[in-house]
Amino acid sequence: MTMSSIKIECVLPENYQLSESPVWEEASNSLVFVDIYAKKVYRWDSLSKQVHQVAMDAPVSSVALRQSGGYVATIGTKFCALNWEDQSTIVLATVDKDKKNNRFNDGKVDPAGRYFAGTMAEQTAQEVLGWHQGSLYCLFPDHHVEKCFDQVTISNGLDWSLDHKIFYYIDSLSYSVDAFDYDLQTGKICNRRSVYKLEKEEQVPDGMCTDAEGKLWVACYNGGRVIRLDPETGKRLQTVRLPVGKTTSCCFGGKDYSEMYVTSAWEDMDPGSLLQPPKAGGIFKITGLGVKGVPPYPYVG
């Protein structure tokens, strides 16, 4: 597959403030995603091109499919179930009760149907970030929560190896993609190590997904690109640049999961700036990558 066959299309030029957590819902041929600070979950129908939304009462940072129907989402510091039909939410669990400034960030369901998601401290003042205030949590099918580890600054991308023996994870301000040994039966993770350190021009690692060849795709915030990595060799295999700077996350979807969807943001941009890309905050579709993705796992609780 030659690089020239790659096509990038802005399928939703909506200027979302901070769109994140894209997940493909095969049953409805739709891309589901969030806009964190707009406090909304969106569902874009790829056939009708219609977008529907549900508003929340706090920043909603990730969304995932639920086996029994509807979705699960991280809203503020709560794991919630979301009924799309009547737009209602039910709180399943709450974390970081002692940290009033914290909220959830990225999350994803593991191959056993558990919902992993991490927290971070919101900036209290311009450029003042609460370092190491977050943690990674796991919501089990019975709705009990376990803390995997703490000392996280900005909990971000996560996914699993194809053989379900390795968990990949990004704490953005470590500028690293890390790996852990992962036990599918228990959900336990251990033996943390770095598999890739981002180069300066790649900027900040954000959301991440795995392809059907076991390689990782990482959206680079402020880097305007997604990069494909080989976690076994630690080498970057490919860079796909997008017409926006703040690329936030990525997932595979579409027919046979051969399309990649990339979310982006326009937050923190000077509204009067001439450098503002017109498609900042849009949702992009990349075709012609020559590799397919893995269907998302649903939460089984």
Query: Which position has the token pair 């998302």?
Result: 296
User: Could you write out the DSSP letters of every residue in 10-47?
Assistant: EEE----SBEEEEEEEGGGTEEEEEETTTTEEEEEETT
pLDDT at 10 over 50: yes
Q: Which residues are catalytic?
A: 206
pLDDT score for 130: 80
Q: Does 192 score more than 70 pLDDT? A: yes
Q: pTM of the full predicted structure?
A: 0.95
CA distance 147 to 135: 7
CB-based contact 107:170 (threshold 8 Å): no
Q: Is the pLDDT of residue 2 over 90?
A: no
How confident is the model over 179-194, as a mean pLDDT? Answer: 98
Least-confidence region, from 145-154, 276-285, 288-297:
276-285
Yes or no: say if 267 and 18 are a contact pair by the CB < 8 Å rule.
yes
Q: What is the pLDDT of residues 252-269, one digit of tens each?
A: 999 999 999 999 998 765
Structure tokens at 254: 């579409």
Query: C-alpha distances in angstroms, 73 versus 29, 59, 112, 203, 205?
Result: 19, 10, 17, 27, 22
Look up residue 199 and give its two tokens. 């180069």
- Write the Ramachandran bin of 179: left for phi over 0, alpha for psi from -120 to 50, otherwise beta: beta
* Residue 275 pLDDT grade (very low, low, confident, very high; cuts 50, 70, 90): low
56-80 exposure pattern, b = at least 16 Cβ within 10 A, e = fewer? beebbbbbbbbeeebbbbbbbbbbb
Classify burial at 110, counting beta carbons within 10 Å of its beta carbon; exposed 0-12, middle 13-18, buried 19 or more. Answer: buried
Backbone angles phi and psi of 16, in degrees to 5: -65, 145
Residues in CB range of 169: below 8 A, 6 or more apart: 136, 157, 158, 177, 178, 179, 180
Distance CA 295, CA 249 (A): 16
Of the candidate ranges 1-5, 45-49, 150-154, the one whose mean pLDDT is the lowest: 1-5
- The arithmetic mean of pLDDT across residues 236-250, rounded, is 97
Q: What is the pLDDT of residue 277?
A: 75
Closest among 147, 199, 138, 195 to 169, alpha carbons compared: 195
What is the percentage of the chain residues whose pLDDT exceeds 90?
91
pLDDT at site 292 = 98
In tens, the pLDDT along 49-107 reads 999 999 999 999 999 999 999 999 999 999 999 999 999 999 999 999 999 999 999 99
pLDDT at 271: 54
Q: How many helices (H) and strands (E) does the chain have?
A: 0, 24
Which amino acid is it at 74?
A: T
pLDDT per position as a tens digit, 114-172 = 999 999 998 765 556 789 999 999 999 999 999 999 999 999 999 999 999 999 999 99
